[in-house]
Amino acid sequence: MHLLTNPRMRYAWGSVDLLPTLLGEAPDGRPVAEIWMGAHPAAPSLLDVDGRPERLDAFVARHPGQALGARADDGGEDEGDDGDDAGDDAGERAGMHSARLPFLLKLLAAGEPLSLQVHPDGAQAAAGHRRENAAGIALTDPRRSYPDDSPKPEMVYALTSFELLCGFAPVDRVRALLTGLAVTELQPLVDALRSPDPAVAIESAVTRLLTAARPQQRDLVRAVARVATARRDDRREYALVGDLATRFPDDVGIVATLFLNQLRIEPGESVFIGAGTIHSYVSGLGLELMAPSDNVLRAGLTAKHVDVRELLRLVDFTPRLPQRLRPTADDGAVVFRPPGPGFALWTSCRAPTGAAAGPAEPVAVPGPASGPRIAVACAGRATLARGDERLELAPGQSAFIPDSDGPLEISTTGTTAVAFCP
């Protein structure tokens, strides 16, 4: 078991206080958006090996069998998303990503909404990566949408109340939101929703919105923002539009949010986001578990590169409810297993004890027994144990447990999570 030192990402959308508070630090007024726990080559965790720091990606590459166990035999590849396999590129991809940790775990603190975005499936990622390579777009170019050839399925587990936008809402709800604003400029979008096929109706309206001429988009956004702000107490969707208008003035993504499911999940709840699902995290503290990819297509609510044409080609326009993950009991803990990806999240939460009963000692429960694992103390302290070895984690600290360490037991005074390969 190895204690990790993890990089912090100070993206502009991050919260100034959620992660510092978790870590027991005084906020310095700057946003802290994410803490990465994993072996992503752009920002790997460091672990202590015989008294010296080593990058986790380098450790896994040098000791694939020890770190990954059976996963080393398939190059540490995840199983991808709901999409098709990459066909002839499968062998090439396995070679490129040999001996890599198949997941990336993040503590994520959203103080402002992230961009409206979509991730590709495996085949789309491989084709997009080849296409941008052939076009001579550098991997570090901000116009790059496919810096790698891997899918990016992800799940989010709430540590506080967590708000997000996820997938397209039913057509009737979208129509009611648009007509309820009584904004003349919205009528063409309402008219575009008339198809009896819900996916076709949403595709027609959203395509019209995102591909309109810039002056037309600007006038529409300003009209919608003005009315929604005045009526923010009527619907939470209108309140969000009003809030976004102050942060992203004239951004067409503001109007696009009226087409999406607006969802709040509470601590201990989780949502899976597969390929083609348009989404944005709005606010809150959570754990994000994902494949280690950077492939993102953005539609708005960002100053970064936006590729509307490619996003419209990949996005799933079918209205559907967000995919909430239902946990299964696992010997004193619960496990969230998303469909498709080769990762899962084990969690143990110590229930609050009544004042009359007094504090009780945390009970050790078996954690995931094999494969590469990353454990993080999300609230309170955690103790990881294997045989006579103990590793204590303070809130926000994490550890890498290689496959060779075998079974372990975990006790916690709050909430502890472990990312692993099922």
DSSP class per residue in 251-292: -THHHHGGGEEEEEE-TT-EEEE-TT--EEEEEEEEEEEE-S
Q: What's the rounded Cα separation, in Å, for the pair 121 and 321?
A: 20
- The overall average pLDDT reported for the chain is 91
Which residues form the catalytic set? 298
pLDDT at residue number 360: 59
Q: Please choose, from the candidates 415, 420, 419, 418, the residue with its C-alpha nearest in 3D space to the C-alpha of residue 22.
A: 415
Task: Say whether 2 counts as a known binding-site residue.
Answer: no
The count of other CB atoms within 10 Å of the CB of residue 259 is 25
Q: What is the H or E stretch that residue 167 is in?
A: strand 162-168
pLDDT at residue number 352: 55
pLDDT at residue number 418: 98
Task: Say whether 154 counts as a known binding-site residue.
Answer: yes
Give the CA distances from residue 117 to residues 101, 167, 316, in Å, rounded to whole numbers and listed in that order.
24, 10, 12
pLDDT at residue number 73: 62
- 348 with 376: CB under 8 angstroms? no
- 99 with 60: CB under 8 angstroms? yes
pLDDT at residue number 88: 32
Q: What's the rounded Cα separation, in Å, for the pair 288 and 216?
A: 36
Task: Say whether 163 counts as a known binding-site residue.
Answer: no
Q: Where in the chain is the domain with CATH 2.60.120.10?
A: 2-164+269-299, 344-354+363-420
The widest CA-to-CA distance across the chain, in whole angstroms, is 71
Residues of the chain with pLDDT under 50: 77-97, 353-358
pLDDT at residue number 361: 73
pLDDT at residue number 351: 63
Tell me which of 2.60.120.10, 3.40.50.720, 3.40.630.30, 2.30.110.10 is the CATH number of domain 344-354+363-420.
Answer: 2.60.120.10
Task: Say whether 63 counts as a known binding-site residue.
Answer: no
pLDDT at residue number 364: 86
Q: pLDDT tens digit string along 207-223?
A: 999 999 999 999 999 99
Q: What's the rounded Cα separation, in Å, for the pair 99 and 57?
A: 9
pTM exceeds cut of 0.85: yes
pLDDT at residue number 340: 80
Residues forming a β-bridge with 416: 348, 377
Q: At what angle do helices 214-230 and 171-181 cross, to 10 degrees?
A: 80
Domain 2-164+269-299 architecture: Sandwich (2.60)
pLDDT at residue number 70: 83
Q: What is the H or E stretch that residue 316 is in?
A: none
Q: Please choose, from the candidates 51, 74, 79, 54, the residue with its C-alpha nearest in 3D space to the C-alpha of residue 64.
A: 74
